[in-house]
Structure 1
Amino acid sequence: MTSTTTRGGRPATTGRSSRARRKRKLATLALLAPALLGLLIFFVYPLIASVYYSFTRFDLVSAPQWIGLRNYVYLFTQDPNVWTATVNTLWFIVFWVPAKLVFALLIAGLLARAKKASGAWRTIFYLPALVPPVASVVAFVFLFNPGTGPVNQILKVFGIQGPLWFNDPAWSKPSLVLLGIWVMGDIMIIFLAALLDVPREQYEAAALDGANGVQQVRYVTLPSISPVLLFALITGVIAAVQYFTEAAVASGVASGKAVVGEGIGNNIGYPDQSLLTYTQWLYVRGFSTYQLGYASALAVILFLVSSAILILLLRRFKAFTPEGAQ
């Protein structure tokens, strides 16, 4: 049996296989082209542009003027509100994210064990997640109104003096945590699917070995759903870092000065800047005072800090590491 050769002495089959590989690569690139173009246009280019503008004085009208590191020096040494906004954002990361995940996991665990009307209960707990964020915040501010809200009225029946909630700097952020717990249906559904996917044989084997309920949760449930927990934690941290709409709307409605279409306004962070988040301050400097260069510096720092937090989480929780890998 002989094989044909090309003019260069290579077997013809080798040439055909190389052409087939090139065609597969071109087909793969063609299929990936929409996603790659979207990544380049909506992520890579804005990121590079933000880094460049962060070293300039830019007001969106005149041409950018190169000023070096002045924006960053002002950010770290002179901006009166950036550290307040940073501390508030970190508060939401430390308290808002764990509270939402814990309650979502508890509700998912109860629903996984429910025998009767489980579908109805799942619907009830998931429905708040469908409410638009602005509408849910407005409803919560009304419910927790210190003077006329039904929550304080119910507490008064039991002889409890309700706090000022969104009008008190000490209670404004915890009030938003309650809102986050109420709309945890999206994460709850993901946890429920993960819990229902845990093999029952593992629980039976753990029970035969003498493990009680708490030990089964620790040694069977949590390791089995650890990838889902990591996913929920990462997405929760991303949402907390970008926390904007709920805090801005709560400040406006609670202060009684919210006007539709007016933006954040002068009541930003009400009460007493307790709800001023990092992204709100970025928005104010970029689109209220038109300091686009300084806002770009704020955005670059936000990107770097967010990336560092996510890398730390991925290294700390090796949920996706294959078994036996080091």
Structure 2
Amino acid sequence: MTKNHQIVLDNRPKGEATAANFKLVETDIAPLQDGQVLVRHHYLSLDPYMRGRMNDSKSYAASQPLGEVMIGGTVGEVVESRHPDYAAGDQVVGMGGWQNYSVVTATQPGVLRKVDTTHVPLSAYLGAVGMPGVTAYYGLVHIIDPKPGQTVTVTAASGAVGSAYAALAKARGCRVVGIAGGPDKCRYAVEELGFDACLDYREYNQDTYALAKALKEACPDGIDGHFENVGGWIMDAVMLRANAFSRMAVCGMIAGYDGQPLSMANPALILINRMRVEGFIVSEHMQVWPAALKELGSLVASGKLRARESVAEGLSAAPEAFLGMLKGQNFGKQLVKLV
């Protein structure tokens, strides 16, 4: 019987999350039943939304149960199958969680999907050609809906969502301006991801008006569309430069994940600028995934989207890598390599 190692949520954070909230356990893998597939995970995805799930509070999804494997996207290889559509050796993407193996009941729709790694690396199906890429696609295409020549912005510009957003927006003829933390990330955004400009928010010491002034220089025609991952004072600065009838897609509020209040300095700008501000959860829009994945796969295969990855080694490294990502210590998509 194969042994499995898992990381479970042992207790809930009180304020900032710590490694002590997690626990590494060993379990046995039971024999497969009809319709089940055993997957060995090669990579585990770490994403900001997981921090919100750790809290026992009202949200768009149920809280992560205590004592159960932490939620998370995975890619890997089928090692055993009792389902006719899957065979040993198939490469797949799913939501296997923070563990080395998962037993998937493949008769349930949408829980497992085979992927082609001929032109797209397996790990990319957790980033640019996965949930983060589709998140960028939905926010840009279906909420912001930019026209050629318009200016769009995004926070966390060098991350998995931001990098896909830039490629998608440039393909639509937009001027794309990012906001990221640190000169290396901003340099990467401009030189490798194709951003027209990128501002290092750390230079402005949480001075909303100083950042807004810099945005005025980077966006001389104002901001027509914005993709928000962070919230707080940075979002306030963007709103000061937003044009009339601008659109904002709100995907994350990472500045408030540890329980800090997230005030909005100038909510009247929503009215004054007749802004459309819309929050969304990408898993609620599965109808767009096929078109999004097709375009994102083409961008990666053609080299127009060269998203960087930060890779931690081994399952036991997942908690510290996750906590580091929440503090912006990662560079690009944060992964854990398991094989």
Give the TM-score range, shorter chain: under 0.3
Flag the structure with larger Rg.
Answer: 1
Higher RCO (C-alpha 8 Å, min separation 6) = 1
Higher share of residues assigned helix: 1
Instruction: Give the TM-score normalised by structure 2.
Output: 0.23
Instruction: Give the TM-score normalised by structure 1.
Output: 0.23
